[in-house]
Every structure is written in structure tokens, then in C-alpha cells.
Amino acid sequence: MDISIFFLLLCLLQTLPLLANTFDSTDTLSGTSLSIENLLVSANGEYSAGFFPVGDNAFCFAIWFNKSTNSTVVWMANRDDPVDGTGSKLSVLNEGKLILTNSVGITVWTTRTPALATSGATNLQLKLLNAGNLVLCNSKSVIIWQSFDSPTDTLLPHQALTMLSSLISKRSQHDYASGNYKLFFDNDNVLRLLFVGPTMTSLYWPDPWVTDPGKLTHRDPYNSSRHAILHDSGYFRSSDNFTFFATDFGVLTHRRLTLDSDGNLRSYSLKKMNGTWDWAVTWQVVSQPCRIHGICGPNSLCSADHVSGRRCSCLPGFKVKDHTDWSYGCEPEFSISCHRKDPSSFVQLDNVEYYGSDLTVYANITLADCEDKCRNSCICKGFQYKFVVDNGYYFCYPKFLLVSGHHSPNFKGDFYLRVPEAGLSNSKSPDELSRLQCSAKNSTQQRITYENKTVKLLLWFATAVGGVEVTSIVLVWLFLLRSSKHPNPAAKGYLLTNRFQRFTFDELRKATRGFKEVIGQGAGGIVYKGVLPNQRVAAIKRLNEANQGEAEFLAEVNTIGMLNHMYLIEMWGYCVEGKHKLLVYEYMEHGSLAENLNSNALDWEKRFEIAVGTAKGLAYLHEECLEWVLHCDVKPQNILLDADYQPKVADFGLSKLQSRSRIDHSNFSKMRGTRGYMAPEWIYNLPITSKVDVYSYGIVLLEMVTGKSPNGMHTLDSGETREHKRLVTLVRETIDFENAITMAWIEEIIDPMICGNYDKVKVELLVKVALQCVAENKDDRPTMNQGILALAVPTRSWLPRLQQIMQALPIRAIRGASGKEFGGCRFMQVRDKLITEMFAITTWCLWNRQNALHFDRPAHPISSISSVAGALLQEFIASLNLETPLSRPSARHQWRPPEPGIVKVNFDAALFKHTNSA
């Protein structure tokens, strides 16, 4: 009975902000103070500001979103110092400040704004805007203070993160106090994530091992503006060049960017699911949660969990400190003496890494010597022993703190935990599992399961059900009887997502009419068309390989099932019975891209949309979900088209279902992929990364543009001779930079099935992206997110304007008496040849300035340009109002445009050579 009363009171407490609407709801404070029972509600009704309950008779002044199922707090004033519910109030002072006082009149929070003069201190107004911004204005409607300037853990659209602000996470899912994680701009002008623990602080994003953030993470540390903003379209941009696109980019919906209590930065969109509005994850910065520092606390170990994301456990000989919060970590059940008579030993933990907290570093040292070094220090908790390939010998890292430890099969090193010489008593397994969910339909990011408490709750629940009525027992018995016919995978330790249905082999055999209608076939298995009992048409794939156990298969199916994206094929269910393993997918009306390339069904606009959608689907697999997934077989046969010809990437879990392949090539027992689409890394036995998918994607783009297969030989007519080339070579050698301006090469490579109806600018852009993707060196290829950004940038929008400028330019005499000097020499006349030359150079220059990707060619088409043309070129570019003006040319020095902040330009070392021929 006590538990029931507790839950009832908790529900009433959480709905108090909604009940308060009945007392007072307006978007503007009419008086001078706001009490517990008052609310400010934005004019559109979407946001409320008032006293939000955070505990028993504990309130914080906050702003929350009303439309979601649970009121989502987006800003909080006194998060670390709640007030009681009697007599506390928010007041507007005449001097232009807001103060929050508790029941005894003590100020617990203030805006700290400068005091206003007497003339401006009247008619102050506190108002909650439709964007969720709480503003304090003077009599002239000038904003004195706004909540957007001091965010807590959330950014709303068009709310800026600046050098003066930061995001600080909550303590836990239901504890709104300041947590252990911070998003901020550092002194190098780079946006970073910081773990602030009780004993140490450490940066964990971008990768702390990258010493030059501008080199490997494409950050720009030279922009000191320190400004980041989330747009309502789902696009985020920071002054250090960090950007991301939400998976639903372009969709108009409510959004927020939140630094969650688990240390992960996530973008959320409001979506209607099962009849209710809730937040769905549309992007997150860290795909592997164990890479977040401090996520399991000190003296603990974080391991990847294919069902829940991560699993925290204590080290051998340690026990958990706080059963309600893993961030406190574990404490030892033993003590180590520094006495030589009481020596210690070491427990080896394979593939375990602890970041930072090194006492020192020893190079080229044996394992025995490393053990002695640790024994000689009273504060040494253990040591990392790692072989560094670049140096050719082992390194020893003694640790004085054990924080941010994680297990990864790809880490080539071991950790040796220091324990008493007598060893450890039989330590129990951790009875807590801390889990993160990667489901776009569940906004809860951290769940903690306690077995002992769960057992007690189940016993209490079973007793209550048994005491209510006998009918309930009968229903439970019938349910169990039915479940015995369909074994529940959760009983074996695998909790599958509720979007799935487990089918029997007989059900799928009937649905496919005995596996009669084949609609696809590949290395992984055969795909059949079927009709499910609910009359939904499905694509049912029967896997070839049957060497995988049921438990491993279910774990992998669950991992794939948690991937949810509009450009990924949706999985509806599965079947596993003995050697039979089948997957049930949604059916695509128009089949695969390969089937449509040789028909008139795909016009140019459809092809371009397919290219962009496929890139977004692959980018989600590579960078935006918790589980890092490689496709390994990107090809037109695995890009399916729905009724509207929207693409859906299929077979993205094939490698994962057949083997637990991760980043390291050694985990692949054989080469993956299809001939013609495979990256060179497979051939040369190099490490396999997401760039293998990027290469395959580039081949698909070229095939979409040309209509030619990458496996055949194609004729290149060079005038006097006819040569046979492969697809990539054919396209590269067809592009002649002498006619790159006119784009005449497009007509030579474009697929005849398009029948001349195409956008030359988009064709050129797609080819440029494709050629960058198929670079031999994987480091020269872009990521899929960079590819999306390149495809999203409109190109050559300046060309019509430039043509107008060129047409309007008169061929006139510029006399020396006019005072004009170009490149250090006076001249008498601008000739036709010079105008043509300037037009060609300007067009080529701007083309490279406005595109993040470029043709892989070593030289510029025009080897020299007069100083006069260089000077006039400068004027033309300046007239186009570009954000980054080019440098003034000189007659005596080579002139090179500076590299703009976010654009990668491939200018040759001898881009322009000036002469005094003018």
C-alpha cells in the first residue's frame, strides 16, 4: 500500500506544472513577482515558465516544453539550489534584475545584470517568447536579459552557444542538478566535451589523442568568434567548422540539442509515436558510449553491449559504491601495503584500456620491469602495457587513478591490475547493468537495472495479481501456454525491440507460398516476396549461412533493429529455427536501383535524389548511431526504391549478421563486397574502415551518371585512337580541363537513357563527389557526412551574374592619366583576349572556392595570366560580394588566393604566373 501511495504522489507531483495552468497563464508577468502557483505560457502555448517540481517540496524556476508526453525542461535557473514550495518567488527589481528568493527571503539566484539608470528602470516587462526564450525588457522594448544567453543543458533552435556560455549535463535522468559533463569552446576556439569528475577532468571529444584539432577533425582553431547554433531545419554549425545534419534534415518540427546525463550530445526531434508526441534521437556525437570518459565511474570497466549499448562492471576485487548511480564507480574490497614484506601481484585484463592518470611513461621496457616499477610506488593502482608498432617496442604506463576504462577487442594492449599477493577472494559478478538505448523512438538515454530490486518487485507484483482475482491467474496461464509455443528470446537474455515480430518457419513458408516468388538474390541469401497474415506485403530473406548460434543471431538482429532511419530498409521481424534463419523486411514497390537504371523510369532528378538519400543512409550507419555499422556491399542491387522512388539502403546488417566484424580487418574472415565496387583496401589487406563504403558509393554514383557497369571495359575515343578503359579511368580521362568551363565532357559520359533532360551543374557536382570518393588512398576520400554537405551546396549560382558582368564590361581604353595602376604597370587598352582569359580564370577559381570537393588533376588549364588580368580578376571577384576576398595581385610575385575557412581548394603551386607583357 505504501508503494501505491508513493507512485500516486509522484504522478501528482509531476503534473503540478500542468495543474498550475488553471491558476494563472499568460506570456507576460503583470506584476513584480511570480509565485509557485503562477505560470508564464508562451503565446503559441508550446512553452511554460514557472516553478518546476524536482523533489519533495523542492522547486526550481524553469522553462519546459508542453507538447511532449513528459514536460521536457529546456532551461533552469536554480538547478543546484532548489527552493521550497511556500513563499518562494521570482521578483523583478526596479534596477533591472531578476532575483529568486526562498521562503525566508534568501536570494538563491539572480541575473547579475548591470543596474539600470532611473529613467530606464520603469515599466520593466518579463515575457516568455514563442521560441522558448524568457526575456526581460525595459520600457523601450530593449532586451536587458534573456535565458538564451545562459543555457543549462539544452540549446533550442537559433539559440547560440558562445564563448560566454556552455552546456552542463544533468546529474542523472531525474536529478536536474549540474552533472559531470560540459560542452564549451576552449582557448583554441574549438568546441569540446569535457568530463568533470570528483578527482580529475579530461577531454573526450574531439578525440583527445588528436594533438592538432585542425588537422584530423577539420576544425578551424583560427576563428575566434566562438559561436555555434542549431537551425530549425536540423543543421548545426559551429565557428570551428564542426557541422552536422539531423537524420530528418529539412523537416519542419520542434528540435533541441541536449547534453544528456550520460555525456553524449544528442539532437532530438518531436515526433508522434503511437498516438503521443515524444522526442526521437536524430543525431548523436559519440557512437560508442564507452568512449565517453567517466561513464562508469572510477575502478570500473565499460564494455559494449549489443542489446543495450554499454555495460558497467567493477574490476576484480571491487564493489559498486552507489547502487543508484554508476558515476560514483567502485571501491576496493582489499588493501595493499607498501611494505616489501607484503608484496603485490597483478591480474591481467586483456584488451582493456584506461585513459590518462599516468604516473609516468617507460619506453622499451619488459613486463617484469614494468611490474617492479608499479610495486615501487604506493599509489600505483596498475599499469597499461602496450606494444607500439611505430616504435617497435613496448611502453609501460603506471596509473595512479583508474578512470574511463573500457574493453575493446580492437585495442592492442592489456591492463595489469594491482592486487594483494595472496590474490582475491571469489568476487561476485556485478549486480548492476547500466544501459543506453539507441532507439529513435525512445528518448530515455540511460536505464539502470538492479537484479535484487527487480526480483522483489516481481514477487510483489505476482502476489498482488494472485490476490486480486482468480481470472487474472487464468489469463496469465493462457499467456504462458501460448508463449511456450513461441519461445521468448528475452527469457534467454535478449530483449528484442517491440517493433519486431518473431515468425515461425511455417508461417513464412506459407507467406511466400513455399518460397515461390524470388525477387532478389545475393551472397547473403535469397529474397522472396510474401504476404504476411496481416496482409502486409513483405520481402523475406532466407540467409545462406547457418553456422551462427541462435543467441548470437538474436543479439545481432536486435542491434540492426535499433537502427531507424528514413533511408534504411525497415525490418519487421525474423525467424530462427534450427538451421533456418530468415529476416522479414518491408517490401519496395520499384525493386532495386540496378533494375531501374536500364529503364526510362529514372529521370535525372530522381537519380540525384537517390544519390543524396543513399548518402544520408550510409552516413547514419557510419557516424550517427550508437552501434558502428559497415555495409561492406554498397551497390545498386542493395539500394531499393519505394513507390515514390525514394531510396532505402538494404543489407546494411549482412556483415554483422554473418560475423561480428568491427573496425579491424583481422575480424573479417573473408573479403566482403562485389567485384567492381570493392575498395583497394580489400585487395591489399589494409585495415577496413567506413571508407570502403565511401569508395563503393562513388562507383555507384558514376554508374548512375553514365549508365555503365564498373565491371566492363568501355571505349574512349581520343580522336586518332580508340582505347578501352574501366569506368573510373574513362570518366577521369574524358574530363578535359580545357573545356571544363563549358562542361562539354558531360555529353560524352552522360547516360543516353536520360535523353538530354538533366541539370549540367548537378551532373558536374555528382561526378566531382564520385571521383573524390573513389580515390585510391582512403585518407583522400571524404566521409559520408562530408559527401552529404557537398551534395547539399548549390553550385554555380554565381554564374549567371558573372556572365552579366562580363557582357556589360565595355572594351574601353584606360589611360594612365586616370590614375589606375594594375600590377605595377600602366596600360592603354583591354583587349578581347584578356576579357576571355579573365572570364575563364574567374569561373574556374570560383568553382573551386565554392565546392568542398575537387577534380583530382595536378595542373590548372591556363598556365599563365598577365598582371592586368590578375588585377581585373580581383575586381570581378570583389564585385560578387564573396565572404572571403582574394589577395591583391602583384606583378613580381606569384599570386595565390588564400584558402577560405571552410572550403578545401586544390590550387597548384604555380596557379597564376604573372608577366609584364601587358
The C-alpha atoms of residue 653 and residue 565 are separated, in whole angstroms, by 14
The C-alpha atoms of residue 568 and residue 648 are separated, in whole angstroms, by 5
For the chain, counts of helices (H) and of strands (E): 20, 47
In sequence order, the β-bridge partners of residue 98 are 92
Among all chains, which residue has been given the C-alpha cell 529514372?
602
Q: With contact defined as beta carbons under 8 Å apart, do 630 and 739 qualify?
A: no
Question: Which burial class, exposed, middle or buried, applies to 874 when counting CB atoms under 10 A from its CB (0-12, 13-18, 19+)?
Answer: buried
Any residues with CB less than 8 A from the CB of 334 and at least 6 apart, and which?
317, 419, 420, 424
Beta strands 276-284 and 518-521 are unpaired
Inter-axis angle of helices 470-485 and 451-468, to 10 degrees? 120
Any residues with CB less than 8 A from the CB of 83 and at least 6 apart, and which?
51, 58, 59, 60, 100, 101, 102, 103, 108
| 175 in active site | no
The rounded Cα 354 to chain-centroid distance in angstroms is 24
Q: What is the DSSP string of 605-641?
A: HHHHHHHHHHHHHHHIIIIISSS-------SGGGEEE
10 φ/ψ sector (left φ>0, alpha ψ -120 to 50, else beta) = alpha
Question: Which burial class, exposed, middle or buried, applies to 632 when counting CB atoms under 10 A from its CB (0-12, 13-18, 19+)?
Answer: buried
H helices present in 376-504, as ranges: 451-468, 470-485
Choosing from 633, 651, 693, 751, the catalytic residue is 633
Please provide the distance, in angstroms rounded to a whole number, between the alpha carbons at the two ends of the chain.
98
The C-alpha atoms of residue 504 and residue 725 are separated, in whole angstroms, by 50
Longest dimension (CA), the chain: 109
Question: Which burial class, exposed, middle or buried, applies to 589 when counting CB atoms under 10 A from its CB (0-12, 13-18, 19+)?
Answer: exposed
Residue 244 has phi, psi (to 5 degrees) of -155, 155
Output the known binding site for ATP.
541
The edge-to-edge listing of strands for the beta sheet with 276-284 is 154-155, 255-259, 265-273, 276-284
Q: With contact defined as beta carbons under 8 Å apart, do 271 and 280 qualify?
A: yes
The C-alpha atoms of residue 914 and residue 891 are separated, in whole angstroms, by 6
C-alpha cell at 677: 565496387
Element (H, E) at 690: none
Scored b (16 or more CB within 10 A) or e, 730-760 reads bbbebbeeeebbeeebbeebbbeebeeebee
Residues written for the chain:
918
HSE-CB for 907 with a 13 A CA cutoff = 21
* Residues carrying an active site annotation: 633
